[in-house]
Structure 1
Amino acid sequence: MLVVEDEPLLAEAIRDGLRLEAIAADVALDGDSALELLALTTYDAAVLDRDVPGVAGDEIARSIVADGSGTPILMLTAADRLDDKASGFEVGADDYVTKPFAMRELVLRLRALDRRRARPRPPVREIAGLRLDPFRREVHRDGRYVALTRKQFAVLEVLVDAAGGVVSAETLLERAWDEHADPFTNAVRITVSTLRKRLGEPWIVRTVPGVGYRIASDDDEHDEPTEAQAGAADADPQA
């Protein structure tokens, strides 16, 4: 997510609240910084305060709409008159929340916006015996509940979204962490390794040496790696 909010304490509170829900978020304290981030990253949604320094919030919204990315916009502002809301929707807002607000409501609205995006996907996703429910933050494998940390859940959600496709470590770092993540960290390797163990055997999270990670398909069952082999591949998946 991109959070555009000029009050630093509120921006940090929103970012931290989203992180608790395993949602990575970048923060822009002014309109110019927001446009720079938007030029570098395609976000799943933007939380936008209309009254920010530099480029106005309405102009940021128009820019998001004009680039054709389909990024949903949730306007978060103290302006609560009906005319204010109407003008917000006119410049491209998909939803509108007034301050003060409950963090839980903000998260629910963002998840609803993501669900309604142009890329269709069911609310509950299933692949290769995995059942992932983003709203309940629950994962089951072959009917067995699997307890995951927030970061493990975030990584698994990105892998499941890829529907068996390979996801690079860089993409996982971008989607499940945030802009401040160290690109040389081994956090992805460690998280994938612990996630694989939490999900249990047969190993369903596969390492594609030199490329990244993917969810195994039924066709892979005859070629299941041992724990030692999976760990060795994890040691340097991007080599």
Structure 2
Amino acid sequence: MRVLVVEDHGNMRDVLTRGLAEAGHTVEAVADGPTGLARGVSGSYDAIVLDVMLPGMDGFAVCRALREREVWAPVIMLTARDAVEDRVRGLDHGADDYLVKPFAFTELLGRLRALQRRGAPPRPAVLQCGPLSLDPAARVVRCRGEAVDLSRREFALMEFLMHNRGHVLSRAQILEHVWGHDYDGVSNVVDVYVKYLRDKIDRRFSLELVQTVRGSGYRLACAEGTS
């Protein structure tokens, strides 16, 4: 495998480079986020080992920028932070796997082998609903060609609606899929976020895409002006 290592800590970078080379891999190593992004875009790598805490641009931003530039090499993120939200954040930004420091080097090798067997992930298809498009990989929403700035939760809600466009989704279904265990007990949280989407999309572009189905929930209608 040809592996790119992006790690700012000199000793760790040397250990990774030497260990991967001894395991038979071809290794290139850089020490900061912007250089890692540039190498990742310009090179053809079978895998990228990416630290989270990097100078210039953190690993989350590097991973997201790689996916936005349609670089689909598998990414393993390395971090000293073991909080669940940090691991989820890395995966949400396009990472394929996550290792918390300190870790056994043999585990890194095993995960690289698993990613190699799996192959590069396919690019997720862009979802379309009338004039609205949602790119799950780049995490970009556009309406009539204009970018729509959505928060992480707004994006997740819109993605769920678009995957089920034309179907009525109950508030309970939306809560379970979009909020899951993060649901804080606010009874009208779905309605609040639907309003956010309507403010940013329907009202801005004079559409009626996000529809209320009285007594049932919400539905995404994909024809402009549909009521």
TM-score by length of 1: 0.48
Structure 2 vs 1, CA of residues 68 and 101 (structure 1 numbering), >3 Å: closer, same or farther? same
Give yes or no for contact 2:63–2:95 (8 Å, CA) kept in 1.
Answer: yes
Alignment map for 1:138-157 (pairs within 5 Å) = none
Give yes or no for contact 2:40–2:71 (8 Å, CA) kept in 1.
Answer: no
Q: What is the deviation of 1:2?
A: 0.7
In structure 2, how many angstroms separate the alpha carbons of the residues matched to 1:20 and 1:106? 13
**1:46 — aligned with what?**
48
Q: What is the deviation of 1:119?
A: 8.3
In structure 2, how many angstroms separate the alpha carbons of the residues matched to 1:119 and 1:93? 10
TM-score by length of 2: 0.51
CA-to-partner distance for each residue in 1:120-178, whole Å, 9 max, x for gaps? Answer: 9xxxxxxxxxxxxxxxxxxxxxxxxxxxxxxxxxxxxxxxxxxxxxxxxxxxxxxxxxx
1:73 counterpart (75, 93, 113): 75
Q: What is the deviation of 1:76?
A: 0.8
Give yes or no for contact 2:4–2:45 (8 Å, CA) kept in 1.
Answer: yes
Runs of 4+ in 1 over 3 A off after TM superposition: none
In structure 2, how many angstroms separate the alpha carbons of the residues matched to 1:6 and 1:118? 25
CA-to-partner distance for each residue in 1:89-137, whole Å, 9 max, x for gaps? Answer: 11111100000011111011011112111489xxxxxxxxxxxxxxxxx
Q: What is the deviation of 1:42?
A: 1.4
**1:148 — aligned with what?**
none
User: What 5-or-longer segments of structure 1 have no aligned partner?
Assistant: 121-239
> Is the partner of 2:26 in helix, strand or coil?
coil
Alignment map for 1:116-127 (pairs within 5 Å) = 116-118=118-120
In structure 2, how many angstroms separate the alpha carbons of the residues matched to 1:71 and 1:106? 16
Give yes or no for contact 2:30–2:36 (8 Å, CA) kept in 1.
Answer: yes
- Aligned alpha-carbon RMSD (Å): 1.6
Give yes or no for contact 1:44–1:72 (8 Å, CA) kept in 2.
Answer: yes
Alignment map for 1:120-139 (pairs within 5 Å) = none
Larger radius of gyration, structure 1 or 2? Answer: 2
> Is the partner of 1:25 in helix, strand or coil?
strand
The percentage of aligned residue pairs carrying the same residue is 40
Q: What is the deviation of 1:31?
A: 0.6
